[in-house]
Amino acid sequence: MSAPVAAHGVWAQVIGQPAVVAELRAAVADAAAMTHAWLFTGPPGSGRSVAARAFAAALQCPAGGDGTCHQCRTVLAGSHADVATVVPEGLSIGVVEARELVRLAGRAPSQGRWQVVVVEDADRMTEQASNAVLKMIEEPPPRTVFLLCAPSLHPDDVPVTIRSRCRVVGLRTPPVDAVADVLVRRDGIDPALAAWAAAAAGGHVGRARHLARDEGARLARKAVLDVPLSLVSLAACLNAADDLVSSAKEESDRTTAVLDGAETEAVKTSLGVGARGPGVAASRGGAGVLKDLEKRQKSRATRLGRDSLDRALVDLAGLYRDALVLASAGEQAPVLSHPDRRADAEELARRIGAEGALRRIDAVLACRTALELNVKPQIAVEALTVALRLPAT
């Protein structure tokens, strides 16, 4: 059974980030240490948005984030009237979304002490969206706080004009033992499974929880990490590419099927689609609304598919990284990205050497870049698997 947040207040959710927690708590406690715009950066899984939400709760809480009051509970539940969270469902945050964000930020707090706007994946703002947000950050209302989150090891993915006006909070990848501990303590995961999942996820809290809870996720990871040693022929390379792309699409389809159906029905109900009576005429203009919804859902499906494929590419890069360090350092190799696949990494190191591993890491990174530039996934991944092909023995 998970431990209650109240045990350590809202900060109990921020795992393995003592320096960050200390900085944020100081800002909550001392008005002189407070600023109106913050940029949370850190690698995937470091807990940027979790830290931002905890900070938002502490700002609204009269006790600085005790985790038990109405303010804390509603912020953490996503239902506080004065805390708005923007999560990009598509490939980017457009100017229309940004203007709505600015509108929310301009309101005076109705219940809490601050009007807080949390923007997840702020690096996905388009240039127009960034400009709209920049104007608000330059001249913020007196009780408004912006909390921007960017999934990066550094803040360079956010325009310098915005970054220079924010206080940057850098998060690190949480230690594996801290992740394992929270899986046991909060989620009730078996300690052995929690330790494996934390190590396999490389400290990524959300993914560790997913691997610990979902056998399908564990099998999907295994299928990806089986790829490098299977690439012995051109046919094997093309088959592996098909499997990687189709697996990502299947995962996206499963997620969107649940989300899309509920959303579409809710919108149809609000428009009165299928109803009869005097008010039916009002629903006739609903075709445009449904078309816009369908467009957003399609964009979200594309993003989810790319995110799934990107996770697979990161796993592949991690295995080649393990081969590189084993080829270079041998038994003195540091901690591996995939400790449970050490035998595979050793075999790769033997067959391709350090130089071959480095070339393959570059190929994976090039594939990720191609996907960001909207190259068709099938083409990008086929080019990758051919580049990863093992030398003839």
pLDDT at 99 over 50: yes
The 10 Å Cβ neighbour count of residue 321 is 19
Rounded distance, CA 140 to CA 21, Å? 25
| pLDDT score of 7 | 38
What's the pTM value of the predicted model, to 2 decimals? 0.73
Q: How confident is the model at residue 44 (pLDDT cuts 50, 70, 90)?
A: confident
Percent of the chain beyond pLDDT 90? 44
Rg (CA), the chain: 23
DSSP E strands in 44-122: the ranges are 83-86, 115-119
Backbone angles phi, psi at 41, to 5 degrees: -120, 160
Rounded (10°) CA dihedral 163, 115, 74, 87? -40
Do 386 and 379 form a contact (C-beta atoms < 8 A)? no
| pLDDT score of 95 | 82
Closest CA to 345 of 371, 369, 374, 315: 315
- Which two tokens mark 125? 């703002």
pLDDT at 4 over 60: no
Indicate the SS3 state at residue 173: coil
We find that the CATH architecture of domain 5-170 is 3-Layer(aba) Sandwich (3.40)
Q: How confident is the model at residue 140 (pLDDT cuts 50, 70, 90)?
A: confident
pLDDT at 304 over 50: yes
Rounded distance, CA 83 to CA 334, Å? 43
| pLDDT score of 5 | 39
Domain locations in the chain? 5-170, 234-275+286-387
- Which two tokens mark 316? 């592949």
Do 143 and 113 form a contact (C-beta atoms < 8 A)? yes
Backbone angles phi, psi at 45, to 5 degrees: 90, -5
- Which residues, at least 6 apart from 84, have a Cβ–Cβ distance to it below 8 Å? 101, 104, 105, 116, 117, 118
Rounded distance, CA 194 to CA 206, Å? 12
Between 300 and 212, the more confident residue is 212
- Angle subtended at Cα 253 by Cα 249 and Cα 255, rounded to the nearest 5 degrees: 120
| Sole residue written with tokens 């909390």 | 147
- Angle subtended at Cα 231 by Cα 225 and Cα 232, rounded to the nearest 5 degrees: 145
Rounded (10°) CA dihedral 247, 44, 13, 305? -30
Task: Mean pLDDT check: name the lowest of 103-107, 229-233, 352-356.
Answer: 103-107
Per-residue pLDDT tens digits for 329-371: 866 767 788 999 999 999 999 999 999 999 999 999 999 999 9
- Which two tokens mark 137? 């950050």
